[in-house]
């Protein structure tokens, strides 16, 4: 059976949806390649961001137009895309309005993740037989794949891989992984690409940096949050054929029970609202779940899943009346849960849909009490849904909403813990490891609400348990991506815990975890993951350097445990990350790492053990890095009306850059001409004034920056007398002059 989808499942306003420059370039290349309409071309398009993927699919469909370009959903019952294309051609042939064979894009491959292993194997086997199908296909084919399936294709269908013409790897626009409602249910979501803000530098630049007034930067958020619904956890119990027929009831039969019509009277199709009204009036069950779905249908009348769910509940009611076996009823509820999981995978789940999905999974667990293995799997899925609910803040972020988020997070932790009580790493190592990972992420989130030290400690313990289970009971090579993610998550949890207790021990533990994570990634095959962990490693080295005192013995200043050596290691890690985090590929990540690099150089320049000649060079490197970060942000800002979403405070970067210029200008160990010194002081003043625009007047950052402006103005007076001070004051906005004059 063919599944045509000329219009993608997600319809977005193209004018309101923008994609990054690199993705736009890739899309243009893909579209141009398809427009050439060369014979027997096979393109692979990789995109883990389902919303972005749907947007690109819709753009291609609009640009190339049917019947010249056809979208087909993969038939999951027999996943053979080549046969589907051949069948479409046999039924339609070449359209009369086009002189060449149409092109095709195959969608829905990501849904194979939740199919049984034999179905997945059939898909790869069909691709492997490409030489059998290719002679009958003259046009082009685009396969839209998530990244894990690309790796599977390379390994398990080498013949197909050898035939492919080009690979287009799209990236989801960098966004904090904590805004991951849609990523939560995709199989291998891309990572958050930049670290959190670095603090402003201390006012007294001659002190060592254990006196930082603000907490140091957090590494990137965990690469993997609680596990998505995976194939092993979503294999429902065998369902009797009659139940399956009921659960796949065709919505086209909605009005099948209507009285016979006069053949002479034309049948007027029901509108969507009329169909919904008909469902509500004809469905008489008063169960809580039914009422929830009816309420959700009121909020989302166009969501077909709600309509199908009501019909499914009618069948479940019949099963209850017939006293069907608990396992059969549980399977029906689990199939209903899978219906909503498909919708949640599309991203941005509504509160109503999440509520219904949670209620369905809770019902399934009620009927799975005697089946421990399936109960554990279902509990993990339910915990994932509660976790998603805790992140689904919506527009209201008030106290009530925060309490609801906290409650959902606590429920997720509770259900994960119950699931762990019913399994062991020996009996089910894969599931046990996955739930421990989920629990570690949930405890890490809970630390943002309450008792941070204790909850972060529990997060660390959960990740350690996951790693212990993997190393002892699993093949380490079986799932290297998950192992790397767990090591990265452990490193991040240890980093956060170091901000509350045992900083040196926990930071050393974080460094060890990041090094372990690097063992799983090749910079050639996974450059962005590799760069992210290098960035995290640099931040951990930087942070550890703040907790160690410089050794006054210059011969020992560069030892492995000295701040000097740690900052050098941080700088090396940031440079390695920047080999892959480039301005063209991931500009926001590039800017964040450049900001971190600048601060590491600044810290190194201001250590008491740093030689004067080295100090000047390191300040110049700090200036170079800060300017690169600011230039990237300004370039991104020029492309949109608003400043791009960043994971660091660019106004702190302006301030740090100004302080670096000031230090170069005030350094008496290097001879500078008066014009050179004046240029540096003017640059310092300009950057501090720029920083001042980003903060509220009464904030600590604002007042600190104002002190820097006053300090620079005094330096103008010291160097150039009253004329120099007049020059500085002429550059300060009039509204600031009274306050600066008082400080002077």
Q: What is the pLDDT of residues 160-175, one digit of tens each?
A: 888 887 888 887 643 2
- What's the CA dihedral at 447, 452, 458, 461 to 10 degrees? 100
The answer to whether residue 138 scores a pLDDT higher than 80 is: no
Q: Read off the pLDDT band of 590 (50, 70, 90).
A: very high
User: Taking 50 as the threshold, does the pLDDT of residue 360 lie above it?
Assistant: yes
Give the model confidence (pLDDT) of 479-515 as tens digits. Answer: 788 889 999 999 999 999 999 999 999 999 999 999 9
Question: What pLDDT was estimated at residue 266?
Answer: 36
Separation CA 605–CA 209 (nearest Å): 11
Query: Which of the pair, 137 or 192, is modelled with greater confidence?
Result: 137
Residue with tokens 């590494």: 219
- Tell me the residue range of the domain where 72 lies: 14-169
The CATH number given to whatever domain includes residue 39 is: 3.40.50
Band of pLDDT at residue 461, cut at 50, 70 and 90: very high
Count of domains for the chain? 3
Do 286 and 156 lie in one domain? The reply is no
Tens of pLDDT, residue by residue over 425-459, are 999 999 999 999 999 999 999 999 999 999 999 99
Q: Name the pLDDT band for 105 (thresholds 50, 70, 90).
A: very high
- Residue 46 DSSP class: E
pLDDT band at residue 689 using 50, 70 and 90 as cut-offs: very high
Tell me: do 306 and 161 sit in the same domain: no
Predicted pLDDT of residue 695: 87
With a cut of 70, say whether residue 234 has pLDDT above it: no
Nearest Cα residue to 365 out of 346, 386, 337: 337
Q: Is the pLDDT of residue 5 over 80?
A: no
The answer to whether residue 732 sits within a structural domain is yes
Cis peptide before 320 (omega within 30 of 0): no
Domain match, 58 and 142 both: yes
Question: Are 135 and 246 in a shared domain?
Answer: no
pLDDT at position 642 is 73
Same domain, 141 and 282: no
Residue 653 has pLDDT above 50, yes or no: yes
476-480 long-range contacts, CB within 8 A, separation 24+ = 480/520
Predicted confidence at residue 595, as pLDDT, reads: 96
**What's the mean pLDDT in 312-337?**
83
248 and 155 inside one domain: no
CATH of the domain at 363: 1.25.40
- Select, from the ranges 86-90, 136-140, 151-155, 363-367, the one with the highest average predicted confidence (pLDDT): 363-367
Does the residue 87 lie in any domain? yes
Residue 186 placed within a domain:
no
Whether the predicted pLDDT of 230 surpasses 50: no
Q: Among 139, 169, 199, identify where a domain stops.
A: 169
Is the pLDDT assigned to residue 373 strictly greater than 80?
Answer: yes
What b-and-e string marks burial along 156-168, b requiring 16 or more CB atoms within 10 Å of the CB? Answer: bbeebbeebeeeb
| 150 and 284 both lie in a single domain | no
Asked, for residue 694, whether it belongs to a domain, the answer is yes
User: Using an 8 Å Cβ cutoff, are 605 and 567 in contact?
Assistant: no
Residues 165 and 311 grouped into a single domain: no
Instruction: Determine how many CB atoms are found less than 10 A away from the CB of residue 251.
Output: 11
Grade residue 639 by pLDDT with cuts at 50, 70 and 90. Answer: confident
Asked if 154 and 245 sit in the same domain, the reply is: no
Of the ranges 86-100, 325-339, 657-671, which is most confident? Answer: 657-671
Please provide the size of the chain in residues: 744
Mean predicted confidence (pLDDT) in 69-98: 80
Final residue of a domain: which of 135, 169, 203?
A: 169
DSSP string, 113-152: GGS-HHHHHHHHHHHHTHHHHGGG--S-EEEEE-HHHHHH
Q: Quick check: 228 pLDDT over 70?
A: no
Query: What does the pLDDT read at residue 552?
Result: 57
Q: State mean pLDDT over 51-75.
A: 84
Structure tokens at 344: 């949640």
Residues 249 and 158 in one domain: no
Average pLDDT over the chain reads 77
Same-domain pairing of 246 and 165: no
- Give domain status of residue 330, yes or no: yes
- In sequence order, what are the residues at sequence separation of 6 or more whose Cβ sits closer than 8 angstroms to the Cβ of residue 483? 467, 470, 476, 520
DSSP alpha helix (H) spans, 248-350: 272-282, 288-299, 304-321, 326-344
Inform me whether the pLDDT recorded for 729 exceeds 90.
yes
Residue scoring higher pLDDT (97 or 552):
552
Predicted local distance difference test score (pLDDT) of residue 322: 84
Query: Can you tell me the distance from the alpha carbon of 114 to that of 229, in angstroms, rounded to the nearest whole number?
Result: 7
Claim to verify: residue 278 and residue 159 sit in the same structural domain: no
pLDDT attached to residue 591 = 95
CB 724 within 8 A of CB 678: yes
Q: How confident is the model at residue 274 (pLDDT cuts 50, 70, 90)?
A: very low
**Residue 393 binned pLDDT confidence (cut-offs 50, 70, 90):** low
**What does DSSP assign to residue 263?**
T
Q: Which of 149, 169, 189 is the last residue of a domain?
A: 169
Minimal CA–CA distance to 69: which of 34, 29, 20? 34
69 φ, ψ (degrees, to nearest 5): -140, 125
pLDDT, mean of residues 672-697: 93
- Examine residue 616 and state whether it is found in any structural domain, yes or no: no
What average pLDDT score do residues 454-479 get?
91
> CA 236 to CA 339: how far, in whole Å?
12
Mean pLDDT, rounded, for 103-115: 88
- Identify whether 362 is part of a domain: yes
In this predicted structure, the answer to whether residue 720 has a pLDDT above a threshold of 60 is yes
**Residue 471 resides in a domain:** no
Compute the average pLDDT of residues 510-532.
Answer: 92
Question: What is the end-to-end Cα distance of the chain in Å, rounded?
Answer: 81
Burial of 186 (0-12, 13-18, 19+ CB in 10 A): buried
Which of the four pLDDT bands, split at 50, 70 and 90, describes residue 19?
Answer: low
């Amino acid at each position: 059976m063919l599944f045509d989808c000329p219009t993608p499942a997600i319809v977005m306003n193209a004018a309101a949806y923008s994609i990054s420059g690199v993705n736009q370039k890739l899309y243009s290349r893909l579209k141009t390649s398809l427009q050439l309409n060369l014979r027997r071309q096979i393109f692979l398009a990789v995109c883990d961001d389902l919303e972005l993927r749907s947007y690109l699919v819709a753009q291609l469909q609009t640009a190339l137009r049917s019947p010249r370009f056809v979208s087909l959903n993969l038939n999951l019952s027999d996943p053979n895309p080549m046969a589907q294309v051949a069948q479409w051609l046999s039924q339609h042939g070449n359209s009369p309005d086009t002189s060449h064979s149409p092109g095709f894009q195959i969608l829905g491959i990501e849904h194979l993740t939740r199919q049984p292993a034999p179905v997945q194997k059939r898909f790869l086997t069909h691709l492997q037989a490409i030489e059998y199908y290719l002679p009958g296909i003259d046009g082009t084919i685009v396969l839209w794949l998530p990244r894990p399936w690309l790796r599977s294709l390379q390994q398990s269908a080498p013949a197909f891989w050898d035939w492919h013409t080009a690979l287009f790897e799209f990236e989801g626009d960098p966004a904090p992984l904590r805004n991951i409602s849609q990523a939560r249910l995709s199989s291998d979501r891309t990572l958050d690409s930049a670290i959190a803000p670095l603090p402003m530098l201390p006012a007294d630049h001659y002190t060592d940096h254990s006196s930082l007034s603000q907490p140091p930067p957090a590494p990137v958020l965990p690469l993997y949050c609680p596990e998505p619904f995976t194939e092993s956890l979503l294999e429902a119990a065998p369902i009797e054929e009659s139940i399956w027929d009921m659960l796949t009831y065709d919505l086209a039969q909605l009005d099948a029970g209507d009285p016979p019509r006069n053949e002479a009277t034309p049948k007027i199709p029901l509108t969507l609202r009329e169909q919904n009204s008909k469902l509500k009036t004809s469905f008489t069950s008063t169960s809580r779940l039914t009422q929830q779905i009816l309420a959700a249908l009121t909020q989302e009348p166009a969501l077909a899943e709600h309509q199908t769910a009501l019909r499914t509940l009618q069948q479940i009611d019949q099963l209850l009346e017939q006293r069907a076996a608990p396992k059969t009823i549980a399977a029906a509820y689990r199939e209903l849960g899978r219906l909503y999981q498909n919708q949640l995978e599309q991203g941005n789940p509504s509160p109503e849909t999440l509520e219904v999905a949670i209620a369905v999974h809770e019902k399934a667990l009620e009927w799975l009490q005697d089946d421990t293995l399936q109960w554990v799997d279902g509990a993990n899925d339910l915990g994932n849904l509660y976790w998603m609910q805790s992140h689904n803040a919506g527009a209201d972020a008030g106290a009530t909403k925060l309490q609801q988020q906290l409650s959902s997070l606590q429920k997720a932790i509770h259900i994960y813990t119950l699931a762990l009580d019913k399994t062991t790493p020996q009996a089910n190592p894969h599931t046990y490891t996955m739930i421990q990972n989920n629990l570690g992420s949930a405890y890490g989130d809970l630390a943002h609400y309450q008792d941070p030290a204790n909850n972060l400690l529990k997060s660390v313990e959960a990740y350690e348990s996951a790693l212990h289970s993997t190393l002892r009971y699993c093949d380490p090579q079986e799932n290297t991506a998950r192992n790397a993610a767990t090591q990265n998550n452990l490193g991040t949890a240890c980093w956060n815990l170091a901000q509350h207790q045992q900083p040196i021990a926990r930071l050393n533990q974080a460094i060890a975890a990041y090094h372990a994570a690097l063992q799983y990634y090749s910079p050639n095959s996974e450059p962005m993951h590799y760069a992210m962990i290098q960035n995290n490693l640099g931040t951990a080295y930087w942070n550890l350097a703040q907790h160690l005192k410089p050794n006054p013995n210059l011969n020992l200043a560069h030892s492995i445990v000295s701040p000097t050596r740690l900052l050098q290691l941080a700088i090396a890690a940031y440079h390695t990350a920047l080999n892959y985090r480039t301005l063209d590929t991931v500009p926001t990540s590039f800017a964040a790492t450049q900001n971190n690099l600048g601060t590491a150089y600044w810290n190194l320049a201001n250590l008491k053990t740093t030689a004067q000649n080295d100090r000047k060079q390191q300040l110049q490197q700090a200036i170079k890095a800060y300017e690169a970060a600011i230039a990237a942000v300004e370039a991104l800002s020029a492309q949109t009306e608003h400043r791009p979403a960043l994971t660091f405070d660019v106004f702190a970067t302006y301030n740090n850059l100004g302080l670096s210029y000031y230090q170069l200008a005030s350094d008496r160990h290097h001879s500078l001409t008066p014009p050179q010194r004046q240029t540096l002081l003017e640059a310092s003043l300009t950057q501090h004034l720029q920083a001042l625009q980003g903060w509220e007047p009464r904030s600590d950052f604002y007042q600190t920056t104002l002190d820097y402006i006053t300090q620079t103005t005094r330096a103008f007076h010291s160097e150039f007398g009253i004329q120099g001070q007049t020059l500085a004051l002429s550059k300060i906005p009039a509204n600031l002059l009274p306050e600066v004059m008082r400080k002077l």
